Amino acid sequence: MAYIGPEPNPGQNREVDDISGSFNGSTTAFTLQVGGTNVSPGSANAIIVSVGGVIQNPGTDYTVAASTLTFTTAPANGLSFFGLVLGQGIDSQTIADGQSPTMAAPSITGDLSIADKIVHTGDTNTAIRFPAADTITTETGGSERVRIDSSGRILQGSSTGRNTALMAAQAQHQIEGVGSNASSFSIFCNSTGTAAGAIIFSKSKGNSLGSSTVVQENDSLGHIAFEGTDGSQNRTGARITASVDGTPGSNVMPARLSFFTTQDGSGSGTERLRIQQNGNVMIGTASHFTSNVAKLDVVHGGGGTNNPTYMARFFQETNDQGDDHGCIQLRHEAARSGQNGVGIDFKNSGGTSVGKIDFGQSTVQYRTSSDYRLKEKAVSISDGITRLKTLKPYRFNFISEPDKTVDGFFAHEVTAVPEAISGTKDEVDADNNPIYQGIDQSKLVPLLTAALQEAITKIETLETKVAALESA
């Protein structure tokens, strides 16, 4: 017979505690014990039972299940009892520490009590342990690898749970090790189709296991947090959060993604980028600031030392040549002959458009606001020629393009139209780097027009005088 623990010697039988005191003519089931400890014979044939001095027929007069003896007919009050578990039977006994239980295809009925651990045969440093109440661990190489503690938490690589900053509590599953290999996990999927491994975050609004209560707008659906210790506790440096972004319904779950980072010197993270449920992207803002919603909003509301010089920069670090290697391409599929698409629209703080770059299928035009309703204190230019004569046009090449000669001006010399100039002559930054001046040559057009009109008027006057002299 199969056995667990030391094999009983043949003839080493065990007398069962007397149960006749419970005979009352109605009770049929009784617990078998030896010395006050439950015993499981294994089967009815592994125990000899006598009632009132009569040996009972196993399987007919009585049956055995675990440590319970059940009579077919309830023994009457006053009858005697004798039971003897045969030596080849199996009982649910406590295995002493240090003993090596062997097993040959056993069939165990009842509990198996282990004082401390189950050790792998021939590999004594591999074991399953019960180090404390409601706690189970696994060991390999003599070291604990996985622990399930009394709270149901799974601790891998460490016996101590750590608080996370995001949840302000211990995680239900924690992996801790030394080095990236000991503190990582991977998911492999083998499939001939498009299937792949997945990490899935799911939320129900209910407060019980297995609930399917609909979530609501702005409910978080899941987080990916990146944390580090500050010497005493964990701090969240960055995170990605998915949230409900709209009204959930049958087969509908609108959601957005938010990206948070923590600025140097700050104790908390700030949302930097948001991708809404409709695909609109916002950088530096959590809401659109105009009623005319854009696919991309970029906002910076700060100042001081953290105020950026530019909202965006585009670099092309290759030496590719040709018209198809620019940094930015604007394309408007709806632009048709005679109908321009707006490439760039410039607006002031009040939301009024102050200029646009439009383009059609074959042309680009640059527009600045010129509506009379936007202007006041208008006077005619009367000294166009005088001011024009102060301009000093040159032919030159830029130092970065020695083989390309162009026409233009030196910005600091264009005093006739100061609004066309940006910057100050010979200006430098705090590191003594040059801050170069610029010129908007389109602002010279009104002066050129006024000067040309004055010249035309003078020419027409002279022509009239010449014609009069010729006729005289």
The closest of 448, 446, 398, 392 to 415, measured between CA atoms, is 392
Are both 7 and 28 inside the same structural domain? yes
* Of 316, 350, 374, the domain-final residue: 374
Confidence grade of residue 426 (pLDDT, cut at 50, 70, 90): very high
Does the pTM surpass 0.75? The reply is no
Structural domain of 64: 1-115
Q: Give 285-313 pLDDT, tens digit per residue.
A: 887 666 667 888 888 866 555 667 778 88
CA 242 to chain centre: 7
Are both 14 and 110 inside the same structural domain? yes
- In a domain? residue 242: no
Are both 10 and 69 inside the same structural domain? yes
Are both 102 and 11 inside the same structural domain? yes
- In a domain? residue 278: no
- In a domain? residue 471: no
Confidence grade of residue 329 (pLDDT, cut at 50, 70, 90): confident
Are both 360 and 421 inside the same structural domain? no
pLDDT at position 102 is 55
Confidence grade of residue 405 (pLDDT, cut at 50, 70, 90): very high
- In a domain? residue 308: no
List all residues 6 or more positions away from 231 whose beta carbon is below 8 Å from its beta carbon.
none
List all residues 6 or more positions away from 298 whose beta carbon is below 8 Å from its beta carbon.
282, 283, 284, 311, 312
Lowest mean pLDDT among 9-13, 161-165, 197-201, 313-317: 9-13
- In a domain? residue 39: yes
- What is the rounded average pLDDT for all residues in the chain? 86
The closest of 183, 153, 162, 184 to 233, measured between CA atoms, is 162
Are both 8 and 92 inside the same structural domain? yes
C-alpha–C-alpha distance, residues 3 and 23, integer Å? 32
- In a domain? residue 169: no
Give DSSP secondary structure letters for 79-117.
--EEEEE-TT-----PBPTT-----SS----S---BSSE
Are both 3 and 84 inside the same structural domain? yes
* Of 354, 374, 394, the domain-final residue: 374
Mean pLDDT of 146-170: 92
Could you give the C-alpha distances from 96 to 93, 100, 333, 381, 470, in angstroms and in order?
A: 9, 9, 83, 112, 140
Between vectors from CA 466 to CA 462 and to CA 471, what angle results, nearest 5°? 150
Are both 437 and 363 inside the same structural domain? no
Give DSSP secondary structure letters for 454-469.
HHHHHHHHHHHHHHHH
Q: Give 41-77 pLDDT, tens digit per residue.
A: 888 999 999 999 999 999 999 999 989 999 999 999 9
Look up residue 323 and give its two tokens.
């018209």
pLDDT of 89 above 60: no
Are both 5 and 99 inside the same structural domain? yes
For the chain, how many structural domains are there in total?
Answer: 3
- In a domain? residue 421: yes
pLDDT of 145 above 80: yes
C-alpha–C-alpha distance, residues 448 and 387, integer Å? 9
The closest of 371, 366, 339 to 352, measured between CA atoms, is 371
List all residues 6 or more positions away from 54 whose beta carbon is below 8 Å from its beta carbon.
none
Residues 75 and 81: beta-carbon distance below 8 Å? yes
Confidence grade of residue 91 (pLDDT, cut at 50, 70, 90): very low
Question: Across-strand partners of 281?
Answer: 275, 296
- In a domain? residue 332: no
**C-alpha dihedral, 358 to 359 to 365 to 367, nearest 10°:** 0
